[in-house]
Amino acid sequence: MRPAIAERLEEAGKLEKAQDAGPVYARLCVDAAQDAAAVLEVAARRHPAASWLLDLAERHETVPGTLQLRGASTHASFQVVAWACAARGFVDALVEEGALGRPETAAALLAHGHPSAAVESAARALAANPDCQVVPWLAAVEGPAAEAVIARIVPRVRSRAAAASLERQLTPFPMTRRLVRAALAGLA
């Protein structure tokens, strides 16, 4: 990052105490040009739940939503951010950030009509965090129809730990549970 932008980012921390943070970072993103992503990263860390971040992401981020999802990943607002990203159509970010190992990304995608992306995001979440509770979240969003979506996750599961975790979550979906048990037999 250019020194001038870094200095202004430090100033932004002070400025946003006196005025709305959104316009401060919006201006800074424009001035930062190729360094806009670095500005967004700081903004997402400081304001993970801010709705204005979505607009900035759309204008300045290569994969819009990525930085906000990462910024919110340890924040209570993560679910809200995931839903906001899905509503804005930031599908690629929600798929990739499945690697955060949280179920909200897949659930948000499913809730907004992207079942294939939800499957991919859930598979990444399980790969990153085998204990990730994807089944309850997908079922809460989609109801009984979630079982068909969850069944599509099974062939993408590559680790025994993730398959075993999935199997434990599937008591109310016995058909898919049997599928996972069969898959488990083939996993090292």
Closest CB to other proteins among 3 and 144? Answer: 144
| Binding of residue 136 to other proteins (CB under 8 A) | yes
In the bound state with other proteins, the residue whose beta carbon lies nearer, of 38 and 139, is 139
The 8 Å CB, 24+ separation contacts for 53-62 are 54/84, 54/85, 54/88, 54/90, 55/26, 56/25, 56/26, 56/29, 57/90, 58/88, 59/29, 60/29, 60/36, 61/36, 61/37, 62/37
Q: Does 135 help bind other proteins (rule: CB under 8 A)?
A: yes
Residue placing its CB nearer to other proteins in the complex, 15 or 164: 164
Q: Which of 165, 94, 159 is nearest to 134 (CA)?
A: 165
Whichever of 41 and 167 has its CB closer to other proteins, that residue is 167
Site for other proteins in 51-90 (CB under 8 A): 83
SS3 per residue for 50-78? CCHHHHHHHHHCCCCCHHHHHHHCCCCCH
Phi, psi (degrees; rounded to nearest 5) at 175: -65, -45
Of 43 and 106, nearer to other proteins (C-beta) is 106
Least CB distance to other proteins at residue 136 (A): 4
Alpha-carbon distance of 5 to 31, in angstroms, equals 8
Write the binding mask 104 to 123 for other proteins: x where contact by CB under 8 A, - elsewhere.
---x---x------------
Those residues whose C-beta lies under 8 Å from the C-beta of residue 137, and which sit 6 or more positions away, are 103, 104, 106, 107
Q: Which stretch binds other proteins (CB under 8 A): 46-54, 58-66, 89-97, 140-148?
A: 140-148
Tell whether residue 169 is a contact of other proteins (CB under 8 A): yes
Supply the minimum distance, in Å, between the C-beta of residue 87 and other proteins.
Answer: 11
Q: Which residues bind other proteins (CB under 8 A)?
A: 83, 107, 111, 133, 135-137, 139-147, 169, 171-175
